[in-house]
């Protein structure tokens, strides 16, 4: 039977196995009364509806994996390998946070694919516009005359 004790010395009831975002988690719910009366309540929990402090913990196998991965991430070897992904991660983050790629606007794979392609194209356009801020665009070549204009001016084709 596992319990948690908070910095103010309040001990939780035993942890309970639950689901958080569809994954197994350990739920720790501190008793209401001492949490309501606690002077540090606002610093401790964003919970404003009068319940006790609620904490979700990873199960032991997941916690071990997470601890090991966090330890590995500090090694220079890991950081060197991760640096290869840095540009890719930034692009994924940009499409998700700036262009809403995580939410599909349409139903069906075909339309979803179109959304992905258009989002990628839009991302490229935004990046290109950053390469040439206003006033710094390279001089463009004059547009060739259209067929109709050639016809009107009797220009050779
Ligand atoms: S709000 Fe509850 S859990 Fe947080 S410090 Fe106070 S008594 Fe402890």
Take atom 7 of ligand 1 and give the residue whose Cα is closest: 35
Q: Check pocket membership of 55 for ligand 1, CB cut-off 6 A.
A: no
Structure tokens that stand for 99 in this block: 């262009």
Q: What is the pLDDT of residue 57?
A: 94
Q: What is the pLDDT of residue 156?
A: 63
Centroid of ligand 1 to alpha carbon of 57 (angstroms): 17
Q: What is the pLDDT of residue 89?
A: 87
Q: What is the pLDDT of residue 75?
A: 96
Q: What is the pLDDT of residue 155?
A: 64
Q: Check pocket membership of 25 for ligand 1, CB cut-off 6 A.
A: no
Q: 53 near 30, Cβ under 8 Å?
A: yes
CA gap 61, 67 in Å, rounded: 10
For residue 101, the 8-state DSSP code is T
Which numbered atom of ligand 1 lies nearest the CA of 7? 5
Q: What is the pLDDT of residue 27?
A: 95
Return averaged pLDDT per consecutive 10 residues of the chain, 157 residues in all.
Answer: 92 93 92 92 80 92 96 95 86 90 92 94 88 74 80 72
Q: What is the pLDDT of residue 157?
A: 56
Centroid of ligand 1 to alpha carbon of 73 (angstroms): 32
How deeply is 28 buried, as exposed, middle or buried, from its count of CB atoms within 10 A (0-12, 13-18, 19+)?
buried
């Amino acid at each position: 039977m596992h319990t948690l004790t908070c910095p103010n010395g309040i001990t939780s009831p035993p942890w309970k196995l639950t689901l958080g975002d569809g994954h197994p988690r350990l739920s720790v719910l501190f008793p209401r009364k001492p949490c309501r009366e606690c002077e540090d309540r606002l610093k401790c929990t964003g919970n404003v509806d009068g319940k006790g402090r609620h904490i979700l913990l990873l199960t032991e196998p997941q916690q071990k994996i997470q601890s090991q991965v966090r330890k590995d991430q500090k090694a220079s070897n890991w950081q060197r390998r991760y640096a290869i992904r840095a540009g890719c991660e930034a692009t994924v983050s940009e499409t998700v946070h700036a262009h809403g790629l995580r939410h599909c606007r349409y139903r069906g794979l075909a339309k979803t694919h179109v959304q992905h392609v258009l989002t990628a194209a839009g991302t490229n356009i935004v990046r290109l516009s950053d390469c040439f801020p206003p006033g710094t665009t390279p001089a463009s070549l004059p547009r060739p005359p259209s067929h109709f204009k050639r016809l009107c001016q009797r220009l050779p084709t």
